[in-house]
Structure 1
Amino acid sequence: MLKLKMSVWLHDRDRWFLWSPILFGLGIHCYFSGLIMNSAQIYWIIGLGIAIFAIGRKSLWAYAGLGIICIGLGIFASSYKTTDIASHYTKLDSEWGGRIRATVKNIDVMDGQIRLLLDDVKGKDRSFNRIRVNFRHKKDRLNETMMSKLRPGVQIRAYVRLTPIPPRETPLNYDFQFWSFFQGVEATGFGGTSSIWVYEPKEEFGVFEQLRYTITKKMRDEGLGQPGEIAIALTTGYVSGISKSIRDDFAGSGIAHILAISGLHLSLIGGMMFLIFRRGLGFSTKIALHWPLKKIAAALAILCSYFYLKISGEGIPTIRSFIMFSLIMGGIIWDRDPISLRSVAWAALVVLVLRPESMYSPSFQMSFAAVIWLIGTYEYFRERSWNMYAKKDTPWYKKFAVYIAGSALSSLIASMATLPFIMHTFHRFSWHSIEANLIAIPLMSFWIMPLAILVVIGMPFGLHGIPLLVMSWGCQVLMQLANTINSWPGTYVPVGVRSGWFMTLILAGSFWWLIWTHRWRWLGIPAVIFAFFLPKKDIFLMASNDQSRIGIMAGESVLLTPTGRPNFVSQDWKGIAGLPDLIKLSKAHSQWITPTNWGWMIQPFVKNKQFNVAVITDINHPAEKDAIVSVIGFPKVKSVIMHDGTIIKGGCALWKDSDGSVKILQETEDKSKFPWR
């Protein structure tokens, strides 16, 4: 039996390397979760791995040592990146206002305002490395003159009001402090464009940043409306000009990934340039006979994809795709198999070494999930489908049928691969994403992205107008597709917060099936299926960090906000609770809400009439004995009190466990351990 097990392990010995980015990522999680942050512990783990490798270098223990080294290196990379940023990160601790002088790093133009990312910020008594400021913008002659001068690299002087980076409301919410820290943003604020004075650009500022903005501005000057803004998003990555209603349509129809430049876009650009160079060079008989056209085309395609990477903003999915595309083209140049999970593993390692925090980014998670499942499935079906497709006597309609079936299968695989991450991050999914992608992807491949190439090529000669117009027609079709599918039932399916084992089983089962080739790989599929049957947490109350906003579930149908208008946080709560509606308590009418002389008694769960939440208007009124939780104060909350008298302070999420007890999730981490807190 032991020999049989060892033979199975040795059968896939050439695929053991594929576990390295997984173990490296495990080390990253150990650091950012606060489990291992001490330098001595990090070096001890790496030293232990080296010792095991040295002692057992002629046995399988050497691989165990390498695995421990991978975990230690993941912890070290996270520690190094965090320490490096913290050495020059000076976050704002209280409100500050005044006149500043700064260099424009990035510009986002939105409806009624512009958002500037500013570097080298100097104030009268304070300086910052980087801040993000929203400026209210009125379209008058003076402001439009200023906007014509504003571009990345220029220096500006302006009056701003800055505030500290807000903490996350609960451990379930988006962590502004974490991501702002790794983006280098030390404060956020607001101002008015009338206070901006533009100076000359700094000579050392990046060429690609200015080129990116110039391309965006010329495309926007064509005045093509929302289709033009989508064309801009697909070319240079600026999505701020797209209206909220259109973004909601794309999200509801399951094709929101199209608006964010990722592997799909770069792969299409790089692949098309490869074909153009290969066919174009083939027109010369002399070159075709004496030069390796395929290898030359591959090298030139890498350069073109690098250019697109730079003008698109260098997002994590785009960097991953560029590394993958370069490895594929490198495989062509050096006569190696260009499509393999080993290429994905190297791409993941490069990204995680350079940006370890990106492991928690939804774009990183979903882009890699889609790619590894597509390549893993390709490896499994490669021999079955390609042999028939490559035969010269195969009729064209059979080849076309294989292409259509492959496109449908690819959309299905990518949608299923990203579904767990969508559920985990956004707490929702759409039933219609597959059919939407079946139409949208060919539209992108054969219409929109080829014209994007012509737009950029023709821009230096002033010939970009016509291809941009035709490209905008394709974007208009995309908008209509998203709007139509989003109007169908089942486009918004809330799922709430899943069990803590949900992603663990998904990841373990997926990696097990993808990495191994022996028949025991199929043991991973039941783990993935079982994860989807895990119950969601019955969250019934959430409170913001300062408790100025409370969300309460009523009858498992609506999430009520006693104070304030719905904002980003309360909209996030709606998804966390897995509910479709968001209603202000003072305007709510429901059988699950009972008015009383002291406020309201709310029943969160339909089948549990004894489980109630009291909202009390009088701040001097005691907590209700018949309520599981009492919210004291309305509309201004004073405190949240449990039935046993425990006072809950700060942001929290409360849910009912399977045994009927109430569980509290709060921010418990030691803030002194994390420089972004």
Structure 2
Amino acid sequence: MLIAAQRGHLFPWVPVMLGCGIGGYFALPAEPADWMRPAAWGAAALLVLGARRAAESLAPLLLGLSLVLAGGALAAWRSHQVAAPVLSFRYYGPVEGRILKIDRSLSDRIRITLDRVMLADTAPARLPATVRVSLSADMPHTSLEPGKTVILTAHLSPPMGPAEPGGFDFRRLAWFERLGAVGYSRTPVLALEPAIRDGPAMRIAGFRAQLSQAIRTGIPGQAGAFAAAVVTGDRLGLDRATMDAMRASNLAHLLAISGLHMGLLTGFVFLVLRRAIAAVPRLALRIDGRKAAAIVALAAATAYLALSGGSIATRRAYVMAAVMLGAVLLDRRALTLRAVAVAAILILAARPESLLNVGFQMSFAATSALVWAFCCLRDAPLPRAPRLLRPVLALALSSAVAGAATAPIGAAQFNQIAQWGVPANLMAVPVMGLLVVPAAVLAACLAPFGLAGPALWAMGAGCSWILAVAARVAALEGAVRPVVAPAPAVLPLIAGGALVVILWQGRGRWAGLLPVVAALWLWAGTQRPAVLISASGGLVGVLEPGGRVLNKSGGDGYAARAWLENDGDGRLPEAAARPGPAGFEAELAGLRLRQLSAAQLRRRADPCAGADLVVTPGEAAAEGEACLVLDRNRLAETGSVALRNGPGGDLYLVTAAKRAGQRPWTGRAGREALRGPRLPGPGAGS
């Protein structure tokens, strides 16, 4: 009876079931055997056949289960389809390759991504498909351009694992991007060949770079860099201070070419063309203005997709815009949950790994919540607001609904809440829609005639206003509130409960609030690891009542920042450091811990004297250890390590390798065996 009552409203559940299968695949502790993929497809097909003969109340359940199996099989197929060599050792030497992409890292360094890679003394079968190299801060980059073959001397290593067990695994992201090595260079980049753009993708990349430079020339300063990012997705000119202000004010989404930009662009083109057709009576009587405008808007969206470089976020936005415009062409309502579901199905079918992408999660959370909220308001018997107030109220409601829908995801993924984000968006988003995007379209139309100057000036004024809002809001006291990282079950519980509220029909939908409340309760009771140890062995963090204490202020910077952010601690690593001249020592729950540098390890005759656990980036003796020693060799197998409080108050050890499991992107992970004495508590290596 419950399923029968949902008849006619089940289609939006299709991507949800696919997502459950995809999420289940990525949650597996080990890669399924090869025979399981065709078996899953076969089982899904049998369930579909069974659903055709099953009772009306049972058929949707069988179809849902078939979609779960299909989602898992699809994700498994995709992970093997993108397989490419990953560097298995640390490399230092010459690196030759063609520049695919130029961007900027979080540490404000210029990075280049290379394909057609050549490494010294490395067999072709072991060469990564692509590598990414960060350049020295004082290295000129104006001569770099996509398509140019270059050579440089670089340090390369495999993509790094999680900073802590269960944390963000960059290796998985790199695997699906076919990124086989990352590193840095302190030497100049030398050109071997001029830019050769032998395909559409490289020609578009070259045009993108030229257009970005032209925009930055026409609009000076950070406003020009912001404008280039909005038009082409190129953030090369944005400095660290601007990026920090955009994140702190919750305006960073304006830099990503996503649903907002694609929606503003297609909406502006659609509206202008439709009004232009309606203004010519003869033309309006001969063609359908809505459909003609939809076709041109779709062409504009396609051009924008190509121009922006076609990132995952932009492709996702394009699919959603195309679905909406397709609904107009087919005389269907454009903004419905069915249209959102179609877009999600297409994206998950093409790139199942998108489910784990924060952009995918936030985009569909915001879109689904907005469509549901406005449908509820449309059907509700509410008095109509005055005409002049409707745009203001719509904007305020949109910002509030989208902010509420994406807040848990943003807080979980970025460990912070921008407390003044809604007012900042109310001041910035209208300028983006009413000035920046129209001026960009006008500049594109006038540029061939050399008349883009006034449009660029207007675009620069709008960008300057947005940057001023970001800087002003970010400077407010308490603009950013740190948030502790939640347990793995929290976000799935929130998403599942919210989907029940949005998609289920009838009063039963409010039962979806129960898992949301349970997730928030779990989040509030999150307990962070008592001790964290980096994969290098050079950094240890011990949780004390006043916050986590680090053994040093420099080195392993990424791990140090990640630990403090996951703790919900807004301090910088320098403020959390408490180094000691003879090594770092701590005692908790009966465990005596000591961290020694490689030099301190060599000076000690017995590193275990008075310690139960010794951590070092050096290489300890293989035998005769009176305590558990995590040295360079062991940490190479375990990855980062955490010590957690067990039920009885004892500490137990968790490794990143065990948590990550044996997957295509983890390499040797999951096969480590910790030798030496066990720790107090439930046991080591769990």
Question: After the TM superposition, which residues 14-93 of structure 1 pair with which residues of structure 2 at under 5 Å, given as runs?
Answer: 14-34=8-28, 37-58=32-53, 59=55, 60-86=57-83, 89-93=84-88
By how many angstroms is 1:615 displaced?
4.4
CA 98–656 in structure 1, closer or farther in 2 if over 3 Å, else same = closer
* 1:233–1:83 CA distance, 2 compared to 1 (3 A): same
Following TM superposition, by how much is the alpha carbon of 1:503 offset from its aligned partner in structure 2, in angstroms?
1.6
- SS of 1:201's equivalent in the other structure is coil
The letter of the residue matching 1:562 is K
Task: From 149, 163, 168, give the equivalent of 1:169.
Answer: 163
1:46 alignment partner AA: W
Provide the rounded CA distance (Å) in 2 between the counterparts of 1:329 and 1:660.
59
Q: 1: distance between equivalents of 2:583 and 2:296? A: 73
Report the equivalent of 2:251: 255
> Which one-letter code corresponds to 1:175 in the other structure?
D
1:565 CA drift (Å): 4.1
SS where residue 16 of structure 1 aligns? coil
Shift of 1:363: 0.9
Contact 2:501 2:512 in 1 (8 A): yes
Amino acid at match of 1:374: L
Q: 1:517 aligns with which of 499, 502, 505?
A: 505
Give the residue type in structure 1 aligned to 2:135.
F
The equivalent position to 1:424 in structure 2, one of 412, 427, 430, is 412
Aligned length: 636
Is the 2:532–2:540 contact (alpha carbons within 8 Å) kept by the matching residues of 1?
Answer: yes
Letter of the 2:97 partner, please give it.
A
The more displaced of 224-233 and 666-675 is 666-675
Letter in 2 for 1:513: V
Q: 1:653 to 1:600 in 2, by over 3 A?
A: closer
Aligned match for 1:444, one of 432, 441, 451: 432
Q: For residues 286 and 264 of structure 2, what CA distance do their matches in structure 1 show?
A: 29
In structure 2, the CA distance between the partners of 1:138 and 1:132, relative to structure 1 (3 Å rule), is: same
Q: Which moved more, 1:441-450 or 1:159-168?
A: 159-168
User: Separation in 1 of the partners of 2:552 and 2:231?
Assistant: 43
Which residue in 2 is equivalent to 1:337?
333
Query: 1:214 aligned to 2:219?
Result: no
Q: Which residue of 2 aligns with 1:291?
A: 287
Distance in 2, Cα, partners of 1:104 & 1:77? 31
Q: Deviations over 1:37-76 (max 9, x none)?
A: 2233333333334334434424133322222221121122
Of 633, 638, 651, the residue aligned with 1:662 is 651
Q: 1:405 aligns with which of 383, 388, 393?
A: 393
Closer, same or farther: CA 418–163 of 1 in aligned 2, 3 Å: same
Measured in 2, the distance between the counterparts of 1:672 and 1:316 equals 26
* Structure 1 residues 287-436: aligned runs within 5 Å: 287-384=283-380, 398-436=386-424
Alpha-carbon deviation of 1:438?
1.5
Render the CA deviation track for 1:537-589: whole Å, top value 9, x for unaligned. 23332111122112223323354243624722211111111112134489649
Q: State the shift of 1:673 in Å.
A: 3.7
Higher mean C-alpha deviation, range 98-107 or range 503-512: 98-107
Instruction: Judge which range, 525-534 or 265-274, deviates more.
Output: 525-534
Mapped to 1, the partners of 2:50 and 2:426 lie a distance apart of: 54
Cα RMSD for the two superposed structures:
3.1
Mapped partners of 2:518, 2:547: distance in 1: 26
Tell me how far apart the structure 1 counterparts of residues 133 and 559 of structure 2 sit (CA, whole Å).
20
Give the alignment partner of residue 501 of structure 1, picking from 489, 500, 509.
489
Counterpart in 2 of 1:556?
546
Residue 607 of structure 1 is matched in structure 2 by none
Match of 2:136 in 1: 136
In 2, Cα distance between the equivalents of 1:443 and 1:367? 21
Task: Give the match's secondary structure for 2:116.
Answer: strand
Alpha-carbon separation, structure 2, partners of 1:325 and 1:294: 15
Residues 491, 286 of structure 1: alpha-carbon distance in 2 compared, 3 angstrom cutoff: same
- Aligned-partner Cα distance in 1 for 2:322–2:270: 12
Instruction: Give the equivalent residue in structure 1 for 2:676.
Output: none
Secondary structure in 1 aligned to 2:132?
strand
Aligned to 2:188: 193
Give the Cα–Cα distance (whole angstroms) in 1 for the partners of residues 196 and 583 of structure 2: 62
Q: Which moved more, 1:556-565 or 1:404-413?
A: 556-565
CA distance in 2, matches of 1:265, 1:488: 27
Q: 1:177 to 1:17 in 2, by over 3 A?
A: same
Task: Indicate conservation of the 8 Å contact 1:119/1:131, yes or no.
Answer: yes
Query: Which AA in structure 1 matches 2:206?
Result: Q
Mark the CA change 1:402 to 1:283 in structure 2 (over 3 Å): closer, same or farther: closer
Q: Distance in 2 between matches of 1:334 and 1:181?
A: 39
Cα displacement (A) at 1:299: 0.9
1:365: Cα distance to partner? 0.9
What's the secondary structure of 2:180's corresponding residue? coil
Q: Using the TM superposition, give the Cα deviation of residue 78 of structure 1 relative to its aligned residue in structure 2, in angstroms.
A: 1.4
| Correspondence 1:612-631 to 2 at 5 A | 614-615=593-594, 619=601, 620-622=606-608
Q: Could you tell me how far apart the structure 2 residues matched to 1:153 and 1:584 are?
A: 41
The two structures have a TM-score, normalised by structure 2, of 0.85
Q: In 2, distance between residues paired with 1:259 and 1:580?
A: 24
Change (3 A) 1:597 1:196: closer
Is residue 2:581 matched to residue 1:581?
Answer: no
Letter in 1 for 2:559: V
2:217/2:224 contact within 8 Å kept = no
Per-residue Cα deviation, 1:60-118 (whole angstroms, up to 9, x for no partner)? 333222222211211221122122222xx122122334445433222226899642222
CA offset digits 1:194-253 (Å, max 9, x no partner): 523342414324232222122112112336111111111111111232111221111112
Gaps of 5+ in 1: 1-5, 390-396, 590-594, 604-609
Q: Choose 428-437 or 453-462, whichever is displaced more.
A: 453-462
Q: Tell me how far 1:343 sits from its aligned partner.
A: 1.1
Superposition TM-score, scaled by structure 1 size: 0.86
**Cα 1:410–1:91, aligned 2, differ >3 Å: closer, same or farther?**
same
Aligned to 2:97: 102
- The answer to whether the aligner puts 1:268 opposite 2:256 as a matched pair is no
How much does 1:418 deviate? 0.9
Matches of 2:14 and 2:39, distance apart in 1: 19
Give a deviation string over 1:111-152, Cα, whole Å, max 9, x none. 996422222223454444222223337577xx75xx1xx432
Answer yes or no: is the 8 Å Cα contact 1:50–1:65 preserved in 2: no
SS in 2 for 1:57: helix
Q: Which runs of 5+ in 2 are unaligned?
A: 668-686
Contact conserved, 2:561 with 2:573, CA < 8 A, in 1?
no
After superposition, the C-alpha distances for 1:258-304 in whole angstroms (9 at most, x for unaligned) are: 12221111100110010111112233221111111111001110110
Q: For the residues of structure 2 that align with 1:197 and 1:289, how far apart are their CA atoms?
A: 60
- Map Cα deviations across residues 366-419 of structure 1 (whole Å, 9 max, x no partner): 11111111111122212237x865xxxxxxx71232322221111111111111
